[in-house]
């Protein structure tokens, strides 16, 4: 018997999500078990089963930590956009009429 990880997708707009595990002698049987265990109430329209031994992950999940300060990758690094916007607008309004015209 092998352990299979089960992934389920509820529709075409959703990603596959892990929903549990089953143990089975082969993939065909694993799919049948997964159908009975995880989709009795139309919770999914698509099922995947993957042998657990075929899944690879980091031994040490701390390796997933971001090594240095990379706050510039996140939206919250740009929160001062509101004050910046009003500063830039008042600067723009202060310019002479000629400089503000597009021609």
Partner 1 sequence: MTYEDKLARFNAHIDGGGKVEASDFMPDDYRRGVLKFIEMHANSEIMGALPERECLPQAPTLLRKMSLAAKIQDEVGHAQLLYRVAEDLGKSRSAMYEDLLAGKSKFHNVFHYPVQHWGDVAIIGWLIDGAALVTQAALLDSSYAPYTRVLKRICSEEQLHLRHGEHITLMLASGTESQRDLFQDALSRWWLPIIHFFGPRSNVEKDLLLRWKVKTRTNEDLRQEFLDRYVPKVLELGFMFPSPVPVESTGHWIVKDQDIDWAPLEAVKKNRGPETTRRLAARRDVYDRHRWVREVLAAPFTYAA
Contacting positions for partner 1 (CB under 8 A): 1, 3, 19-26, 29, 33, 36-38, 40
Minimum gap (Å) between residue 53 Cβ and partner 1? 13
Q: How far is the CB of 2 from partner 1 (least distance, A)?
A: 10
Closest to partner 1 by CB, 3 vs 71, is 3
- How many Å apart are CA 52 and CA 24, to the nearest integer? 11
3-state secondary structure of 95: coil
* CB closer to partner 1, 24 vs 49: 24
Query: Judged by CB, which is closer to partner 1: 53, or 83?
Result: 53
Q: 22: buried, middle or exposed (CB in 10 Å: 19+, 13-18, 0-12)?
A: buried
**Closer residue to partner 1, CB minimum distance, 18 or 84:** 18
| DSSP per residue, 14-65 | S--EEEEEEEESSHHHHHHHHHHHH-TTS--SEEEEEEGGG----SSGGGGS
Least CB distance to partner 1 at residue 66 (A): 20
């Amino acid at each position: 018997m092998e352990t299979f990880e089960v992934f389920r997708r509820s529709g075409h707009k959703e990603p596959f999500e892990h929903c549990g595990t089953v143990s089975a002698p082969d993939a065909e049987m694993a799919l049948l078990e997964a159908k009975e265990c995880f989709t009795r109430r139309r919770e999914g329209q698509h099922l995947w089963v993957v042998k657990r031994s075929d899944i690879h992950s980091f031994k040490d999940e701390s390796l997933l930590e971001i090594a240095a300060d990379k706050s510039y990758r996140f939206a919250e690094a740009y929160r001062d956009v509101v004050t910046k916007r009003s500063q830039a607008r008042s600067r723009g309004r202060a310019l002479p009429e000629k400089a503000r015209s597009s021609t």
